[in-house]
Structure 1
């Protein structure tokens, strides 16, 4: 996907490093890439027979993080804390998904209580928090045979829930900008894959997905008609 973006002028986060060749996660990533290439996203999200679910979740968490990182990177000049005179529609003084949904940030470290942040600061905090999780070998082990922690499922659910918020913000606040850049097809494909994966493994409470309910229903309806 990265070939479609001109990221030279955008602020982006460091992509999570690929797992080493020969590991189970590397093999699963190659399998996922192959099934994605078939164009059948429903098939692409299914757990391969005989494989470990935690490994499958971990591989996709890294990939969705990297894809979303690049997508958000394309609109950072539009996603600003204050209204810019050259682009008055670009102001994002709060992290929201339209007028009905506002998100507060809490990470238990720098922000110990739920805190209102401008969208770019919120996404900065979220992506840095996610980067820390993905780089933590105790949570996301890359060493073959090393077990996942007892709280992995809870952690992965929290990660996917927060990644969804960035997708929701992009659709609700920056879809016009995305279209102007000509990359709406890439956003749509990335989110469709993300939503089908989340739906397949029941990773995010449906109430959390409410900001994009109409889009989600359309994705499921299209998937059933195939």
Structure 2
């Protein structure tokens, strides 16, 4: 059984007007942890139920379908703030106190700007998920032995992109009223990678505080601010 691999959330892009004032490190620090923002979600669904492997589905097929969907959604989410992520504003790919370096096919390490890093990530993932020998879509075609390791590599890179959006561009996300989409996407992604052990917890520890908040269901009587689709 093959899935149609595409996204499932809809982003309503707001005006391109840049928020007033330049952000400073002090303003950006943990801004995304404020309760008024963490309560904003798009759906009430139990995300744990969404990621559990269905009995009749092959594990690799499930990983392929979800990984491709997350790639499309994270790419779309980044595109909403990409005009604010430039070589001048983001001279390195950062999240909290971590700088991510890019490693090319030969293993050469290089420091690059955030937009360069994200471009490398998206280009690489696009190449992988559209390669029929790695992410087969035709019935009867087998997944390669290296498939799980490649999925782990993709998920690690996608986590870096999400972490950077929160750390460096959350104010812009709020100004565009897209924090509900970002929170829901992040929580769904974290629950998924934890379910199948796709990203080393040590690699995700920089965002543990946010993961704990967003992946813990809100109390039934808690007021949730949902995004209204227009």
- Does the CA contact (< 8 Å) of 2:91 and 2:112 recur in 1? yes
The size of the alignment, in residue pairs, is: 188
Report how far residue 212 of structure 1 moved: 0.7
Post-superposition Cα deviations, 1:172-210, rounded to whole Å, max 9, x if no partner, equal 111111001100000000111100001111110000101
Structure 1-normalised TM-score? Answer: 0.78
Report how far residue 40 of structure 1 moved: 2.1
Post-superposition Cα deviations, 1:73-122, rounded to whole Å, max 9, x if no partner, equal 0111111111xxxxxxxx10000102x1000011306xx41110000011
1:101 aligned partner: 98
1:144 aligned partner: 139
2:194 aligned partner: 199
Question: Within 2, Cα distance between the matches of 1:144 and 1:212?
Answer: 39
**Runs of 4+ residues deviating >4 angstroms:** 6-9
More strand by share: 2
Partner SS for 2:136: coil
Question: Within 1, Cα distance between the matches of 2:151 and 2:11?
Answer: 28
Question: Within 2, Cα distance between the matches of 1:48 and 1:93?
Answer: 43
Unaligned runs of 5+ in 1: 10-35, 83-90
Q: Does 1:59 align with 2:54?
A: no
Q: What's the Cα RMSD here? A: 2.2
Q: Does 1:41 align with 2:36?
A: no
Task: Go from structure 1 to structure 2 and tell me whether the alpha carbon gap of 1:52 and 1:209 turns closer, same or farther (over 3 Å shift).
Answer: same
Unaligned runs of 5+ in 2: 1-8, 18-41, 221-230
Partner SS for 1:102: strand
Partner SS for 1:48: coil
Report how far residue 211 of structure 1 moved: 1.4
Partner SS for 1:138: coil
Structure 2-normalised TM-score? Answer: 0.76
Question: Within 2, Cα distance between the matches of 1:7 and 1:72?
Answer: 15
Task: Go from structure 1 to structure 2 and tell me whether the alpha carbon gap of 1:207 and 1:48 turns closer, same or farther (over 3 Å shift).
Answer: same
Report how far residue 219 of structure 1 moved: 3.3
